[in-house]
Structure 1
Amino acid sequence: MQDKHIKALSIKQVYAERIIAGNKKIELRKRPIGMELGDLVLLYETTPDSVIKGGFIADKTISLSPSKMWNQYRHIMGVDKEFYDVYFESCEFAYGTLIHQSFSFPALSLKQIQKLCSGFVPPQATINWREDWYIQAEWLDALHKGRNQLMQEERLGEQLSLLLP
């Protein structure tokens, strides 16, 4: 049994590596994708890699016009202006989830994930991690560490029942 605060996010390897290394501190999307403060977001690196080997604790999600988002957060985006402009070309809003803390984990390939997690399909954007799916101990440690830190900062309420032994 596990809790509802774990999600998997589809992401290109280069951006996953930048998040894990701490060079990218905001995850940008064209629409909100359901990441909430204190969630553990597993980075599912898309093909050809098809692996989870890192993740982050989500901070708040913000929405701004693409130009305001660039002006305020360009120094932590981990993308260049040309890519950014093309990506948000016809968008009224840019959505960014700030990264509270990032982690690297023992790698799990798509084949391993599908063996351990019945019915797993790589996410198009994000998916909630199902209660009957496998969880690495390192993921739980990261989740507890991140949520406890957010609670100590008084940004997150008490955890009522994350995981009971």
Structure 2
Amino acid sequence: MKDPERAMLLSVHPRFANAILAGSKTVEVRRQRVAAPPGTPVLLYATAPTMAVVGMARIAAVHVASPREVWSTHRAQTGITRREYDTYMTGATRASGLTLEDPISFEEPVTLSALRAAGTFHPPQSYRYMKSDELRQVAAAGPVVSSALREVLGDLAPA
């Protein structure tokens, strides 16, 4: 990644987090335009009932187009049915298909309570970008995560 100061925190249902980490879901869809360059690290936050950062991946590409075009291009990689996709995209005029690669599953997920104990942490509704101070906070919350983050982002070990 060109900018080691930035990564994406992506909230996904546990079913989808597991599929991404298993490699069976390689495209995550969003209802809005996502502007993230290839190589951007993505931390996967699995929503309730898991409520933990469970792994990470990298963005290989982002395809922004109409919902119809994103589905047409990526349907086999999304891990969802057409009905689920159409329900999710209701009312959207743009969609993004995030092609993810190099998934890493954390042996010990970092729970929401551990993340909050390490500092102020709020999981996003959809996604948000994280800067180095927030990444250090996540790294401090779990040694397995710290090791994986250092490997991908450089030395982010807490001071």
Q: Which is bigger in relative contact order (C-alpha 8 A, separation at least 6)?
A: 1
3-state SS, counterpart of residue 114 of structure 2: helix
**Whole-angstrom CA distance in 2 between matches of 1:44 and 1:97:** 16
Corresponding residue for residue 50 of structure 1: 51
Separation in 2 of the partners of 1:134 and 1:54?
12
Identical columns (%): 25
Q: Give deviations 1:33-90, integer Å, cap 9, x for gaps.
A: 4433111111111122111111111112111222222121111111111101111122
CA contact (8 A) 2:149 2:156 kept: no
Question: For 2:128 and 2:57, how far apart are their aligned partners in 1?
Answer: 15
TM-score (norm 2): 0.81
Look up the SS of the partner of 2:104 in the other structure: strand
Paired with 2:47 and 2:36, the residues of 1 have a C-alpha distance of: 19
Confirm or deny that 1:137 pairs with 2:138: no
Q: Which residue number in structure 1 is paired with residue 120 of structure 2?
A: 119
Question: Unpaired runs of 5+ in structure 2?
Answer: 140-145
Q: Which amino acid aligns with 1:71?
A: S
Q: Distance in 1 between matches of 2:150 and 2:155?
A: 9
Change (3 A) 1:164 1:130: closer
Question: In 2, are the aligned partners of 1:33 and 1:125 still within 8 Å (CA)?
Answer: no
**Long gaps (5+) in structure 1:** 145-161
Q: How does 1:142-153 map to 2 (within 5 A)?
A: 143=152
Q: CA 1:139 to 1:163, structure 2 compared with 1: closer, same or farther past 3 Å?
A: closer
Kept in 1: contact 2:33–2:94 (CA 8 A): no
> Structure 1 residues 68, 164: closer, same or farther in 2, change over 3 A?
closer
Deviation at residue 110 of structure 1 after TM alignment:
0.5
TM-score when normalising by structure 1:
0.78
